[in-house]
Copies of this chain bind each other. A is one copy, B any other.
Amino acid sequence: MTTPIQYARDHAETFRQQLFELLRIPSVSTDSAYTGEVRRAADWLAADLKRIGMQNVAVMPTAGHPVVYADWLNAGADKPTVLIYGHYDVQPADQKKDGWSSAPFEPEVRDGFIYARGSSDDKGQAFVHVKTVESYLATDGKLPVNVKMLLEGEEEIGSKNLQDFLKTYADMLRADVAVISDTGMTDVDQPEITRALRGLTYMQLDVQASKIDLHSGGYGGAIHNPALALAQIIAKLHNPDNSIAVPGFYDKVRPLTDTDRAEIASLALSDEKYMEITGAPGIWGEAGYTADERITGRPTLEINGLLSGWTGEGAKTVLPAKAMAKISCRLVADQDPVEIYELVKAYVAQITPPTVRAELKLLNMGDAALMETDMPEMQAAVRAYERGWGKAPLFARTGGSIPVVADFKRILGAPTIMLGFGLNTDGAHGPDEHYSLEMFRKGIDTAIYFLEEVAK
């Protein structure tokens, strides 16, 4: 009798061809001109899920692009329920404008990599799970665990309708553990499990002096220029050692233990490497921490945008009425995003001079996530990677945020395992995005093993 692993081997070429079909659909969620294509990708996935034997397959409407849902719940009540999350929408891509070597929606294989928009982020990685389920159902006729699959079409536009969807269908989606394959690793030969995500508090600071823009000749020198005042406020948000000056900001930060630091160091890049990748003339950051510790284990305060007065070409002698900054903090466990907003707000109020008015608004937020390595589901993932790769995985942390992880915890009560099968060099969001055929194959193996291991 054929095993799921053997089935996956035997159908590797078919799986690739099927993935190519999906990659050919330009499901660009950010551009309303592609709304029909996004829908077409959802329908394509729903048809494949039906074909392989998944149940309750539905393309479910939201206020935006639809969610593809499917489940298979016949493993029995004593077996865990795994919620598999992925997204089928992609970033925009224009061959000429963005400088692709081949057409972004005409996938082709070069040197063992599939080149196409969405190949890694996230169609390729989501498809790993569809083919995993197929490999089981086509051989064993059943899955080792109960599986619910949720493939959304708005990840690239901030998953803006997903939270409502999770709330509305919380009972239907309830699971013991969630799995997301939407992260990368550094080395194709060394598996990694991302176990930490940073949270986010995203704010807007508006500073105003006069009611309307003034002539800089008529009033300049006697009215506090709000762009200057904004810069003066921003300059007080960090201490000379580049730590954040907001009182109380670090109070709830879980300190990095020696084990944490060793874990981070195991996958760290050198300062020189960061300079090479970014082109920045130097490495910057909080004193006492390495670049990787700053990015993955410590909170930050970034200026994401600035706007005031005249920003076009040439000169306009305006004394602006207003100046605006977008300010965001990446948070680590156990910081609370709302509390951080309150702390920054109080500090800004304290340092704002009486010659201007300042208002700090909360725009967006998300909790940090730190998954313990001794969780049974995490240990199941460790064993799955060991079997899939023949090598024990390292634990990794990312500086980014995947807000849905906190939503899964809060709304569905499920912890999330980041079962990433991408590479950090895949070029997600950039030109020539690609996905390693080897990662695709190892990913399916590992996902097959994971369902087996998590059932134990």
Q: Give residues in A with beta carbon < 8 Å to B.
A: 158, 198, 200, 202, 209-212, 214-225, 227-228, 230-232, 234-238, 274, 278-286, 291-292, 294-295, 298-300, 302-311, 314-320, 323-326, 328, 330, 353-357, 363-364, 398-401, 429
Contacts and interface: CB of A to CB of B under 8 A. Distances in A.
Given A219-B274, A221-B330, A314-B364, 16 more contacts: A209-B284, A210-B280, A211-B279, A217-B398, A217-B401, A220-B302, A222-B291, A225-B302, A227-B306, A228-B302, A231-B235, A280-B356, A302-B319, A304-B316, A305-B318, A314-B363
Contact of A315 (B295, B314, B326): B326
Given A219-B399, A221-B399, A227 B305 contact: yes
Contacts of A278: 209-211, 214, 219, 223
Count of this chain's copies in the oligomeric assembly: 2
Nearest to A424: B218
A295 B220 contact: yes
B238 A235 contact: no
10 contacts: A219-B295, A220-B330, A221-B399, A223-B274, A223-B278, A304-B315, A305-B309, A305-B316, A306-B306, A315-B328
A433 to B, nearest CB: 14
Nearest to A308: B306
Contacts of A158: 315
A318 B295 contact: no
Contacts of A274: 219, 222-223
A386 to B, nearest CB: 28
Contacts of A355: 280-284
A326 B220 CA distance: 14
Contact of A304 (B211, B234, B291, B310): B310
B280 A400 contact: no
A271 to B, nearest CB: 8
Q: Which of A158, A282, A317 has the most CB of B within 10 A?
A: A317
A162 to B, nearest CB: 16
Nearest to A203: B315
Contacts of A356: 280-282
A424 to B, nearest CB: 9
A5 to B, nearest CB: 34
A238 B228 contact: yes
Contacts of A286: 221
Contacts of A209: 278, 280-281, 284
Contacts of A202: 315, 317
A328 B310 CA distance: 12
- Chain B CB within 10 Å — which of A158, A200, A228, A323 has the most? A228
Given A211-B278, A217-B399, A230-B231, A284 B326 contact: no
A202 to B, nearest CB: 4
Contact of A300 (B221, B230, B305): B221
Nearest to A364: B315
A182 to B, nearest CB: 13
Given A200-B317, A294-B221, A303 B211 contact: no
Contacts of A200: 317
Nearest to A363: B315
Nearest to A226: B303
B306 A216 contact: no
A303 B309 contact: yes
Nearest to A274: B222
A235 B232 CA distance: 5
Nearest to A365: B315
A178 B372 CA distance: 81
Contacts of A306: 227, 230-231, 306-309, 311, 323
Contacts of A236: 235
A308 B303 contact: yes
A391 B373 CA distance: 89
